[in-house]
Amino acid sequence: MEVLKKNPAWKGRKGPLVLVIMDGVGYGKYKEGDAVADSKMNHLDAIKAKSPNTHLKAHGKAVGLPSDDDMGNSEVGHNAMGCGRVFKQGAALVSNSIASGAIWNGQAWKDVSATKGTLHFLGLFSDGNVHSHLDHLKAMIIRAKQDGVKRVRVHTLFDGRDVGETSALDYVIPFEAFLKALSDGDFDARIGSGGGRMWITMDRYGADWEMVHRGWETHVHGNARQFATTQEAVETYRKEIPGIIDQDLKEFVIVEDGKPIGAIEDGDSVVYFNFRGDRALEITAAFESDDFDKFNRGRRPNVCYAGMMEYDGDTHTPKRYLVSPPSIDRTLGEYLAASGVRTLAISETQKYGHVTYFFNGNRTGKFDEKLETFMEIKSDLVPFEQRPWMKCAEITDYILEAIPSGAYDFIRLNFPNGDMVGHTGVYQAVICSMEAMDLQIGRLAKAVEAAGGVMLITADHGNSDDMFEHSKKTGEVSRKADGSPKAKTSHSLNPVPCIVYDCGYQSEYESTLVEGLGISSIAATCMELLGFIPPADYDSSIVKMK
């Protein structure tokens, strides 16, 4: 790996460069429902008022997604910030592979479609295009029939985060009509089980393995509350648990003649059709690992398992996958390690993998054990609206010791508050989360100033800036029957902040930042603020050197 060239015009700073990623914090389009603007962000506002700042694009083509109608997300956002260039990402890769037919020619598809038993599809049941897309699922079911598969079962993980919070039946009803139209005497395709994504199956970073256990019992063993139809399951839970949203719907199985129709048996095939990796690794381990110890799996069926993509390139998980992820090389982290820069990456469990694995180009390990420190602060195992401050204070506590120690040249951190609490749809909790984070930004600013460092503040995508559903035509807030705003729990298409807080500014760069860029420009910006010349093919820095 080549060493970065020093910029002779850079006068240097005594303290470190601190990259603050405010997860899920953007500049809202609408006044009503913008919890970021509604919050008392006194410290952030004061920093912005006296510092160069601009807006960055954090969605759509700016982060490698198919179109500018696609919301950004934490994974592609951290990929973009860490690799300094835009790579085609999960949704686009899968769509291209299906369109070209490459997916069907791969050995993984040939393996799973060769089953003489049932072909099971498990994944996030929506068109949010963040973890999955129903168009991909439909294409695979159609192809499965063409390839001679006789029996398909779909295991639905309801969304309510990247799409409307109570939109499950908007997907279920037309999808079941689609399955019915495909089914005939030689082909039987039906939904077999389901539940909300934040209740079963889709845990990440080992935060709550019991979620995965519930999913395993539901999808594999058929051990869950029984219903005759998926619609009945959704409507029953909504009646029994007032206010429940799709992501929290309880587990269920569909039965016929008293028996689950979708239990997974020896000889079956299973495709986990999410293309995004963070919430795919744990259920994959449950299917693939021989020395699994996270919960008692009971009967472990002998199946042909495949993921939509390779979820971890270092451990090659899963063993079989349908579409290869982008090959990301020469990341910011790799360049800095080769150049002798001492780095600390820190967040709490919910976003720890983002400032490490995703930021480093989907790479699990370190580039240099001696130069890099990864620190995980354990997240609380409670609903985020109940602890909206999350672990931002503990993250800051650790950094406030790291800055004056002189042990690090570059510190990157993620405050998850705006994203994780934003997804709950609880407006008051989001306000609390923003103001708690702002207090910590104030603490960091003092420490950076005292050390003579630089703080670069940005975000990976919007979320808390757009908490209410709005009419696309009029911009008016959508309201429930009681007149209250309808909560929006998905990400936004809004731009995100970029602020350079440089207390030791010595006129090396223009005081006005470059505009119109995306968050992929963060990598080159970090290099320049550390005194290096970025690679020629990196997206341009937001600071314009003199």
Instruction: List domains and CATH numbers for the chain.
Output: 21-88+328-533 (3.40.720.10), 91-323 (3.40.1450.10)
pLDDT at 506 over 90: no
Can you tell me the distance from the alpha carbon of 417 to that of 437, in angstroms, rounded to the nearest whole number?
A: 7
* Residue 74 bears catalytic tag: yes
Predicted confidence at residue 5, as pLDDT, reads 97
Predicted confidence band of residue 281 (pLDDT cuts 50, 70, 90):
very high
Higher pLDDT pick, 491 / 519: 519
Cβ within 8 Å of residue 453, ≥6 positions away = 13, 14, 15, 16, 17, 18, 403, 503, 504
Can you tell me the distance from the alpha carbon of 315 to that of 50, in angstroms, rounded to the nearest whole number?
A: 45
Predicted confidence at residue 481, as pLDDT, reads 87
Predicted confidence band of residue 1 (pLDDT cuts 50, 70, 90):
confident
Closest CA to 347 of 405, 408, 441, 412: 412
Mean pLDDT score, 273-289: 94
Can you tell me the distance from the alpha carbon of 153 to that of 194, in angstroms, rounded to the nearest whole number?
A: 11
Higher pLDDT pick, 478 / 313: 478
pLDDT per position as a tens digit, 295-351:
999 999 999 999 999 887 657 799 999 998 778 999 999 999 999 999 999 999 999
pLDDT at 504 over 90: no
- List, as one string, the DSSP characters of 72-101: P-HHHHHHHHHHSS----HHHHHHHHHHHT
The secondary element (H helix, E strand) that includes residue 161 is none
Mean pLDDT score, 147-152: 98
pLDDT at 179 over 90: yes
Chain mean pLDDT for the chain = 95
pLDDT at 485 over 60: yes
Predicted confidence at residue 90, as pLDDT, reads 80
Chain position carrying tokens 């639905």: 156
Are 513 and 62 a contacting pair, CB within 8 Å? no
pLDDT per position as a tens digit, 363-419:
889 999 999 999 999 999 999 999 999 999 999 999 999 999 999 999 999 999 999
Predicted confidence at residue 154, as pLDDT, reads 98
Mean pLDDT score, 526-530: 98
CB atoms closer than 10 angstroms to residue 369: 9
Q: Which of 39, 51, 74, 347 is catalytic?
A: 74
Cα R_g (the chain), whole angstroms: 24
Predicted confidence at residue 313, as pLDDT, reads 62
Comparing 53-62, 70-79, 164-173, 400-409, the range with the smallest average pLDDT is 70-79
Mean pLDDT score, 530-542: 97
Predicted confidence at residue 314, as pLDDT, reads 56
Predicted confidence band of residue 88 (pLDDT cuts 50, 70, 90):
confident
Predicted confidence at residue 22, as pLDDT, reads 98
Mean pLDDT score, 61-76: 87
pLDDT per position as a tens digit, 406-442:
999 999 999 999 999 999 999 999 999 999 999 999 9
Predicted confidence at residue 206, as pLDDT, reads 87
pLDDT at 473 over 90: no
Cβ within 8 Å of residue 335, ≥6 positions away = 1, 2, 4, 527, 532, 535
- List, as one string, the DSSP characters of 274-302: ---STTTHHHHHHHH-TT--SS---S---
pLDDT per position as a tens digit, 188-197:
999 999 999 9
pLDDT at 535 over 60: yes
Are 345 and 356 a contacting pair, CB within 8 Å? yes
pTM of the predicted structure, to 2 decimals: 0.76
Can you tell me the distance from the alpha carbon of 527 to that of 7, in angstroms, rounded to the nearest whole number?
A: 10
**SS3 state of residue 194:** strand
pLDDT at 66 over 80: no
pLDDT at 362 over 90: no
Can you tell me the distance from the alpha carbon of 280 to that of 90, in angstroms, rounded to the nearest whole number?
A: 13
